[in-house]
Structure 1
């Protein structure tokens, strides 16, 4: 295509790049740096390089990357792209979609999804771009691509019943699929929910409840992946949305989940206790499931701190509560019935009370097929052995449990329990071969971001 035939915005992109002395590969790294990818892989840079050439040739419009370009160049969006983007109908046909679904390139949306209309939405689009979404990661169905295209075309709208079903679907996915897949899908729906809220055609309070639920589930997925900083930010987003909704149950549920995620290396235990106290002030003095749940999280944190007498006192509040208010209308399936015995297994393992820990573990294993609950209570058994002086036996047991897990089930939450076992080993015994083997395995294990699991859940 001759330079004179290209759209003005395509010519401007090339001119601005060359003005700064950047080649296409340099431009690729600059764009990725803008969205927070400091050390991109060579394959990601190459993918971005190919996209840059297409954009500069005018073959397609930058879409979600348009505001990223504007920020990288330091030029207002409306100045960098003074002419409207091409219409979807002129550019997206079945052949193009088939190619997109199989090519190893970043997903592009022809129209900018109102990018630049407000700072919140621009940031959301940049977060999606930062995921580095490639069609090769989506399998043969290309479902996330379809969802993005449906949003761009405004061909789908969801009523509140559909949004509630969407939230339940994500909770199910969190328990049945690898966390990176869940995170990608959640980002797509979070952007859709924000756009619907921005349009102002629906009940803003109910949409905020949806956004709160989706955000806390996203924080869960990120915690599983070990991306703790991002998980904390999404927990805060969930809190803000829940608070704006005015739904007390939702506000407490979000805070209960946030405190529980903090137990897995996300925060120090004193920080977790502060979160619990803040939530209790909101809950008030009336007994409720959420107050009991917070007591269970307090028991776990105190056990980690070695304050076992206080931990058992907090545990009694959780285990002894018989209320039937464990369901919220937005996430009715969140409570599984395994939380209380799981907390017992955690606390009694730290104490070394084998009989009580064994009884709690059997209850958990009989009530759930959730791999995180199952793996962690088995690790609690190894922890109890170590606490009672069986360093070699407990370390070998933990190594066997972790080594037997499929790569898709090696979540950060499970690995952190393995690290708690290492910390329980007396310092002078940490050089023993069994302890060294466990240490090496934990350093090797990383959550697999693209495979699918068959049983899952949060523990």
Structure 2
């Protein structure tokens, strides 16, 4: 009876019913006279609904599965980055990592931003997972260097934002060592500008990510933690972190290229150790470490030697030698190239004055140091 109503056109079956009739009679809706019926719901096995993209009319479900698989394979294999392009990017970023140590922060920013723009152009297209991971790694490295340069220039808000970008890119890459390294490096911003508690948190997070496995990054994180704890006045934990850093550094031995901004060579380890020892007031040992570190730095290196000289000046201030302290600090500022006379260096020089015994902070050597620090870079 119901078929009669459908055949006379008095009623129309539901799309699902049309599908069942087509399956039963092995016919199309047109052949059964249901051409005007709304779109027919295709019946497919449970769980396979939605596999329609790229299908051709008349294809069986199995054929649609094969078509979908082939299209997926083509998508996975497609890439706008060739192996040669990726190798070239690696070389360019590697070159920038070396140049970073010997180029003032302002001009190196132009180089880093240009490189990052090239990577962003490629990362905007769909890439195979392995290529995308490598692009994320390169992005994390460049963003970290940009953040560090901005910190040295005193642009703290942008530096913090770029460190956030670096962490996001490192996390996206899944590279454990890089994720930890970016966090340890990001701790430099709160170390110099506060809050110090954030610096401690970041360094500990870095060590947690590596699960304490001996590596250059783990040693770096422990040394940075020691320096921050010492500046907080936590002598006991600072010494504990220093011992851990020394043990880790001894286990890994010399590794990486000392002229790579992302390596942690002996001279940088000694720089961090000097900072911790100076902050806890162990001036005798700090002086020995400073002298040892300065011997390892080439003359063309950026601000690290000046930072070591300023820490030596702080040691003199703590030892109640105000004239020596101010002379050392003034010399460190006056002898460095103007392009390196950044806010971070001047901030460290002001710490020399604060470390002086209170009665000597208004002495002639202290006044002369203040006058030097008040001069614009390049006029000294």
Query: How far does residue 157 in structure 1 lie from its aligned partner after superposition?
Result: 10
Residue 393 of structure 1 corresponds to: 324
Q: SS state of the match for residue 199, structure 1?
A: coil
In 1, Cα distance between the equivalents of 2:225 and 2:110?
A: 31
Is the deviation greater in 283-292 or in 231-240? 283-292
**Alpha carbons 1:239, 1:255 under 8 Å: kept:** yes
1:252 matched to 2:180: yes
Q: SS state of the match for residue 295, structure 2?
A: helix
TM-score (norm. length: structure 1)? 0.58
1:371 matched to 2:302: yes
**Alpha carbons 2:98, 2:261 under 8 Å: kept:** no
1:303 matched to 2:234: no
Structure 1 residue ranges without an equivalent (≥5): 1-153, 449-459
C-alpha distance 415-447 of structure 1, shift in aligned 2 (>3 A)? farther
In 2, Cα distance between the equivalents of 1:392 and 1:180?
A: 33
| Counterpart pick for 2:147 among 204, 209, 219 | 219
1:334 matched to 2:263: yes
In 1, Cα distance between the equivalents of 2:261 and 2:315?
A: 34
Higher relative contact order (CA 8 A, sep 6+): 1
In 2, Cα distance between the equivalents of 1:178 and 1:375?
A: 13
C-alpha distance 407-377 of structure 1, shift in aligned 2 (>3 A)? same
Residue 242 of structure 2 corresponds to: 315
In 1, Cα distance between the equivalents of 2:110 and 2:104?
A: 11
Query: How far does residue 189 in structure 1 lie from its aligned partner after superposition?
Result: 1.5
TM-score (norm. length: structure 2)? 0.70
Residue 291 of structure 1 corresponds to: 218
Q: SS state of the match for residue 371, structure 1?
A: coil
Q: SS state of the match for residue 251, structure 2?
A: coil
In 2, Cα distance between the equivalents of 1:207 and 1:374?
A: 33
In 1, Cα distance between the equivalents of 2:146 and 2:163?
A: 8
| Counterpart pick for 1:423 among 354, 375, 380 | 354
Residue 123 of structure 1 corresponds to: none
**Deviations, residues 201-255 of structure 1 (Å, cap 9, x unaligned):** 4621111111011110111211221111111111110100000110101111111
Residue 408 of structure 1 corresponds to: 339
Query: How far does residue 364 in structure 1 lie from its aligned partner after superposition?
Result: 0.9
In 1, Cα distance between the equivalents of 2:343 and 2:134?
A: 32
CA RMSD for the aligned pairs? 2.6
Query: How far does residue 298 in structure 1 lie from its aligned partner after superposition?
Result: 1.3
Structure 2 residue ranges without an equivalent (≥5): 1-79
Residue 178 of structure 1 corresponds to: 104
C-alpha distance 351-279 of structure 1, shift in aligned 2 (>3 A)? closer
Query: How far does residue 423 in structure 1 lie from its aligned partner after superposition?
Result: 2.2
In 2, Cα distance between the equivalents of 1:210 and 1:447?
A: 34
**Deviations, residues 262-298 of structure 1 (Å, cap 9, x unaligned):** 3222x32112112223323322243433222211111
| Counterpart pick for 1:443 among 354, 374, 380 | 374
1:270 matched to 2:206: no
